[in-house]
Structure 1
Amino acid sequence: MQVTETLNEGLKRGYKMLLTAQELDDKVMAKLKEAQPDIEMKGFRKGKVPLPLLKKQFGPRVLGEAMQEAVDGAMSAHFEEKGERPAAEPAVKMTNENWQEGDDVEVEMTYEALPEIPEVDLKSLKLEKLVVKADDAAVDEALGNLAESAQDFKDRKKGTKSKDGDQVVIDFVGKVDGEAFEGGSAEDYPLTLGSNSFIPGFEEQLVGVKVGEEKEVKVTFPEEYGAEHLAGKDAVFECTVKEVKEPVAAEVNDELATKYGAESLDDLKGQIRERLESEYAGAARAVMKRGMLDELDKMVSFDLPPSMVEAEAKQIAHQMWHDENPDVEGHDHPEIEPTEEHNTLAERRVRLGLLLAELGQKAEVEVTDAEMTQAVMEQARQYPGQERQFFEFVQNNPQMRQQLRAPIFEDKVIDYVAELAEVSEKEVSKDDLEKAIEALDDE
């Protein structure tokens, strides 16, 4: 197949490929000859059908297949010979639209080549890693938060009225049309006012009650209530208030620790310290990663595929527009034109993306099946009850798999770079780390 260059500007490439009628016919006959031994036809023994008859019978069907194979083969040979990789799927089209059998096939191929990525001396890279120790104050603060979330209730002074957030212990009997209904009665039931655990309107009517008070609570069951015989019905609950309790934080002691699966308070403190330092380490890694990317960006300069920059700029502009217009959930809005700021950010992202991909490829960084499965499982948790459908969606969607794979691959390349770089540790306070994280968001 004859290949002639028609465009070579920056990373843009164009080629004209010519497949002569004779070459195409030879390929068709070769494919028919290959299939001949297995073909049966009336009047001929298996494998003895003459090639001219096979061509007449199957030629048109084989023609398209042979043409596609010829073009694909020419493209593969071209990229191998040139040592180039396309930034995206090449655009391929026939230029002689009125082609008929017996004519030469003229094909035009255009693409943007991936640039040559310069070598980077990763060992010369100097990085700073922030280190934060979980001090006693941070551990105590976390313990206090746990104690509040594990709140207890203690009796209010006799005669005190209940408030929103209090717990009232009640006996109640629910009636519809004056008749008690099944499941509508209970004794010594602890109800936290404001928890919205009962029918809408029920708990609000118990705000302001006192111990010993009898209260009729009138409500209407929702139309979509689970029990059909009660849906939409008016009901009266005859309630007797037996206790009124105010919320108090649980005491910080061994009993609190056991509520959270720890053996003792000291054990719980140790677990909290480890969790906090793990959170600090994750935040510090994000700060170091930004510093690493900033340094790598300064170390390299190369041409960027225009289509990749344009697509990235549009995506950035679109995302930023939605961040500024949170009330607009759909995409039924005017097209957002990227600004110079969007283009500059897009160039940085594309440049660093290509660099990290090159570094990862040379280092033979791979994303394992186990890592992909873990990523899919984490995403699937966002769709409770539909996990199986999500797994199937990912399995049948290469683009979604790539979206899940990309951040895992990038993180592994970042770790690889950090191992080779000169990393110095700097111990800072929690406040300093928080400021460093805030600075990332401001950039």
Structure 2
Amino acid sequence: MKVTQEKLPASQIGLEIEIAPEKTQQSYEKVIQNYARQANVSGFRKGKVPRQILLQRLGKTRIKAAAIEELIQDSIGEAIKQESIEAIGQPELRSSFEELIENYEPGKPLTFSAAVDVPPQIDLGEYSGLKFKAEEVTYDNEQVDKVLEGERQQMATLIPVEGRAAQLGDTSILDFKGFLAPEEGADPQAELEVIPGAEATDFQVDLEENKFIPGFILGIIGMNPGETKEVDAQFPDPYANEELAGKAAKFTVTLKELKEKELPELNDDFAQEVSEFENLAELRNSLEERFKKESDDNAKAKKQEALLSELVKHATFDVPETMVQQEVDAMLTQTAMRLSQQGLDIKKLFNQDTIPQLRERSREEAVNRLQRTLALREVGERESIKATPEEVEARFKEVMEEYSGEDVDPQRVREAVENELLTEKIIDWLLERSEIELVPEGSLNPPETDTVEETVDSLDSQEQNENDSEGEEQQTVSATTEE
């Protein structure tokens, strides 16, 4: 068999394959024999149908098509083996199948073109001595106080307030009903339009500015228990319910009760109540260690992210479509497994309507992940960076202990551990040889890209909005300004 190779874009190899005359004849005869054994023709026993009648019944086009399908499949596999091509994914026929049928004559050579994806060639360029900026992450010692204060708020006791008006920080019990404010030029005597879902009785809410829509909480400040008041508020824009976005509203509010929080004292008893520690000092130390580790981990992650972005800039890729689609498959599978573990209905989130959109939205992230992985792998091969068997075994035991009692495939875990260790080693090697300029956190503002889970959430939200407008209305007033 004669095979001619051609390098194509997108990491493909083009193949022009010429099938020998005897092979084209053999395939044609084989198809006829198979049909003859299976054909049921009135007046003839099965397997005894004359050749000419069989050809008339089936038609030469049908027989030629079946023969060509078999020739193409066998010939591509043989060509890949003959040429020692490291093919990935399924081969692609480049010739027109209709033209092949038209030109095919048993006993004569048949030439056709195909293409196969192959592992990409990576022009890595510069990778040692990279210069880039990374956001600096510093430990904030106020984090501990915020956590402790949050615990105190959770354990607070509500005490009825007497003799004063409502103020920020109080907890209120109230009745309210919302209306859309009249537009400019409207009849002042006209009845106000009720806002669906904007009504409640004996509703408890903390008087904090970020609760409800702007203006609602501030309108309650200064009210006394038993007082009824009309409060002006404004729906933010954008807003979950687009019909209300940016519109002014009026609420009739009756303050029924007013309470204030009595916070527990911050002492050893408090520490024992909210944690496993015996005293407040131990609790503080534990929180400090946790936040310092988080800060260090975040700082390292920022440097790694900046490093990988810079590394990819210096590399030229030709990622094959097969690898992209495999990566998309892996991403969607991982997301489905995580969401399933959270108790979500995967069949509802991943269906024939959403999967094509999910695949399209995931493509950019998949390509980016592949580029980073391929670039790191190339660095590792050039610099002979490897994870030792001892390192892999130690990490493998740690991971298997974490999954103790769960049904996991040890071989897959070991492969994942080895890959993770190798990636860490290559990144550390690159970081040690890079020049990193630390800049304030948040100053780089990398472009945001939707993750697979965010995309699933987005599609699920669209479906909820389309199918459950009533549920959306119930969120009308309880939405905070942060939403």
* TM-score (norm: length of structure 1): 0.52
Do the aligned partners of 2:13 and 2:117 also contact (CA within 8 Å) in 1?
yes
- Partner-residue secondary structure (3-state), 1:280: helix
Displacement of 1:30 after TM fit?
A: 0.6
Aligned to 2:83: 82
Q: Please list the CA deviations of residues 336-366 of structure 1 after superposition, one character each: whole Å capped at 9, or x if unmatched.
A: xxxxxxxx82x61628x89xx9xxxxxxxx9
The one-letter amino acid of 2:71's match is A
Do the aligned partners of 1:174 and 1:235 also contact (CA within 8 Å) in 2?
yes
Quote the sequence identity (%): 14
The CA distance in 2 between the partners of 1:203 and 1:8, in whole Å, is 65
Q: Please list the CA deviations of residues 307-341 of structure 1 after superposition, one character each: whole Å capped at 9, or x if unmatched.
A: xxxxxxxxxxxxxxxxxxxxxxxxxxxxxxxxxxx
The CA distance in 2 between the partners of 1:405 and 1:348, in whole Å, is 14
Displacement of 1:43 after TM fit?
A: 1.5
Q: Please list the CA deviations of residues 90-139 of structure 1 after superposition, one character each: whole Å capped at 9, or x if unmatched.
A: 56114994963654644234678646789xxxxxxxxxxxxx9x98xx5x
Aligned to 1:389: 348
| Structure 1 unaligned regions, length at least 5 | 119-131, 178-182, 226-233, 298-343, 358-365, 427-431
Aligned to 1:167: 170
Q: Across the two proteins, how many residue pairs are aligned to each other?
A: 343
The CA distance in 2 between the partners of 1:190 and 1:96, in whole Å, is 73
Q: Please list the CA deviations of residues 195-244 of structure 1 after superposition, one character each: whole Å capped at 9, or x if unmatched.
A: 7877997545312224x552244799x9x99xxxxxxxx9855434x436
- Higher relative CO (Cα under 8 Å, sequence separation at least 6) belongs to 2
Do the aligned partners of 2:61 and 2:101 also contact (CA within 8 Å) in 1?
no
Displacement of 1:146 after TM fit?
A: 1.7
Matched, 1:37 2:37: yes
Displacement of 1:273 after TM fit?
A: 2.8
Do the aligned partners of 2:178 and 2:251 also contact (CA within 8 Å) in 1?
yes
Bigger mean CA offset, 40-49 vs 107-116: 107-116
- Partner-residue secondary structure (3-state), 1:162: coil
Do the aligned partners of 1:171 and 1:239 also contact (CA within 8 Å) in 2?
yes
The alignment yields a C-alpha RMSD, in angstroms, of 6.3
The CA distance in 2 between the partners of 1:114 and 1:436, in whole Å, is 38
The one-letter amino acid of 2:317's match is V
Q: Please list the CA deviations of residues 402-439 of structure 1 after superposition, one character each: whole Å capped at 9, or x if unmatched.
A: 9779959949535225469997999xxxxx98879988
**Among 416, 420, 423, which residue is 2:422 paired with?**
416
Aligned to 1:60: 61
Aligned to 2:297: 281
Q: 1:374 to 1:50 in 2, by over 3 A?
A: same
Do the aligned partners of 1:169 and 1:190 also contact (CA within 8 Å) in 2?
yes
- Partner-residue secondary structure (3-state), 1:16: strand
Displacement of 1:36 after TM fit?
A: 3.8
**Among 188, 196, 219, which residue is 1:205 paired with?**
219
| Structure 2 unaligned regions, length at least 5 | 124-135, 180-190, 192-198, 242-249, 377-415, 448-483
Do the aligned partners of 2:27 and 2:70 also contact (CA within 8 Å) in 1?
no
* TM-score (norm: length of structure 2): 0.48
Do the aligned partners of 1:148 and 1:250 also contact (CA within 8 Å) in 2?
no
Aligned to 1:145: 146
The one-letter amino acid of 1:415's match is L
Q: 1:253 to 1:48 in 2, by over 3 A?
A: farther
Q: 1:440 to 1:15 in 2, by over 3 A?
A: same
Aligned to 1:326: none
Do the aligned partners of 1:162 and 1:208 also contact (CA within 8 Å) in 2?
yes
Matched, 1:107 2:112: yes
The CA distance in 1 between the partners of 2:178 and 2:5, in whole Å, is 87
Do the aligned partners of 1:2 and 1:19 also contact (CA within 8 Å) in 2?
yes
Aligned to 1:215: 228
- Partner-residue secondary structure (3-state), 1:100: helix
The CA distance in 1 between the partners of 2:54 and 2:41, in whole Å, is 9
**Among 301, 310, 315, which residue is 1:348 paired with?**
315
Matched, 1:270 2:286: yes
